Amino acid sequence: MKKHNFSAGPCILPQIVLQKAAESVINFNGIGLSLIEISHRGKEFIEVMENARSLVKELLNLPEGYSVLFLQGGASLEFLMVPYNLLKVGGKAAYLDTGVWSSKAYKEAKLLGEVNVFASSKDKTYNYVPKNYKVPADVDYVHTTSNNTIYGTQLKEFPKTDKLLVCDMSSDIFSRQLDFSQFDLIYAGAQKNMGPAGTTLVVVKDEILGKTGRVIPTMLDYQQHIANDSMLNTPAVFPVYVSMLTLEWMKSIGGIPAIEKLNEAKAAVIYNEIDRNPLFKGFAEKEDRSLMNVTFNLVDESNKEAFDKLWSAAGISGIKGHRSVGGYRASIYNAMPIESVQILVDAMQQLEQQVLK
C-alpha cells in the first residue's frame, strides 16, 4: 500500500531525490565509491557543497553580502550560536514568543545577556500569532520563528525594526515567497523542507558579524565557519548532498513561486474541509494558519477510534498531533502531493458519513 507521510519531521522528500540519494550510497556519480565514504576534502564533495550554497542564494534571491553555511547541531544549537555571534557584551535581545521552539531559543539567549520577550501567545496555548506589539528599540537583534510546527501557526508579517532581524525558518524554509533580504540571519534545520536530519542551513549577512566584543568558541563562531567554507570540521556529507538534490528539484519545478502556489492549493483543500465538516475544528486562529502544519481536533473525542481506523486504513502516517496540543497535525511540506492531502480529506468525509448517516 502507498503510504501518505504527514510526519512533522523528519519528513517527506521528493521521490526523485530519494532515488538519486539511494544510488549515491552505492556508487556516487559513477566513481565506484559510496558518497558516504568519499573524502569531504575531495573535489567531488566540494562541488556538492558549492552547488548547494549557490542554489540557496539563487532560490532565496539573496543580494551580495550574505554567506551560506551548512552546519550541524540542528536549530537547537543555533539558539545558542545566534546570541554568541550577535548579542553584544552587556547588550540585550528581543524575542517574539510564538511556541515551544521560540521559548527554547530565548532561554538559551538568556545565558549570555538580557532578553526581552516583547510579545507572546502562550496565554492561549500558542494558537495565534501576537499582533500590535511594540518592538524594543534598545536591543542588538530581534528574533522570530516564522512557522510554529507544533501549533500550526505562521507569521504572515515580520517585525518592522531597524535592528538586526533573525528568523528560525526550520519548518517553512523555501515554502513561500518572502523578501529574504529583510533578514540579517536565517537558520533552518534541514529535516522539514530541504533534506534529512543532520545538517542546518544558516544564511547570514557578513557585515553583522564580529561586533559583540566577546570571545566566541571556535565551533560556535560563524566567521570561522565562513572562512572554512562550512568545513571547519567534517560536514554532514549525506544530508548536505540530499539537500542539494532537493534544492535542484525545487529549481526544476519553478522555484519558490511555483512551490508556494502548490502549497496554497494543498492547504486550501484541507482547511476547507476542516471548516466545512461539523466533526472537526481547527486549532490555530484562521488568520494565522500555517501552510505547512495543519492542526485540528475532533469536536467529539468519542469519534477518535473510528477516525483513526479510517486514516490508518487509507495508508496515512504521521498524523497524530503533538502531545501538548492533542488531536491531529497534517504536515504538508513542499514534497507532499495534493493527492495525499485529498486522501486525508476523503477519510474525514467518510467519518462524517458514518457518524451522521
Cβ neighbours, 10 Å, residue 7 = 17
For 29, the grid coordinates are 556519480
Alpha-carbon 92 to chain mean position: 26
The catalytic site residues sit at 101, 168, 192
Q: What are phi and psi of 253, to 5 degrees?
A: -100, 5
Report the length, in residues, of the chain: 357
Q: Which residue, 62, 68, 340, is CA-closest to 179? A: 62
pLDDT in tens, the chain (357 residues): 679 999 998 989 999 999 999 999 999 999 999 999 999 988 999 999 999 999 999 999 999 999 999 999 999 999 999 999 999 999 999 999 999 999 999 999 999 999 999 999 999 999 999 999 999 999 999 999 999 999 999 999 999 999 999 999 999 999 999 999 999 999 999 999 999 999 999 999 999 999 999 999 999 999 999 999 999 999 999 999 999 999 999 999 999 999 999 999 999 999 999 999 999 999 999 999 999 999 999 999 999 999 999 999 999 999 999 988 999 999 999 999 999 999 999 999 999 999 987
Q: What are phi and psi of 134, to 5 degrees?
A: -110, 125
3-state secondary structure at position 186: strand
Any idea what the Cα angle at residue 333 is, between residues 329 and 339, rounded to 5°? 85
Spatial separation of the C-alpha atoms in residues 316 and 7, rounded to whole Å: 10
Domains and CATH numbers, the chain: 15-252 (3.40.640.10), 255-356 (3.90.1150.10)
Spatial separation of the C-alpha atoms in residues 222 and 184, rounded to whole Å: 13
For 221, the grid coordinates are 563562531
Any idea what the Cα angle at residue 63 is, between residues 62 and 66, rounded to 5°? 75
**DSSP letters for 39-61:** -TTSHHHHHHHHHHHHHHHHHHT
Spatial separation of the C-alpha atoms in residues 20 and 53, rounded to whole Å: 19
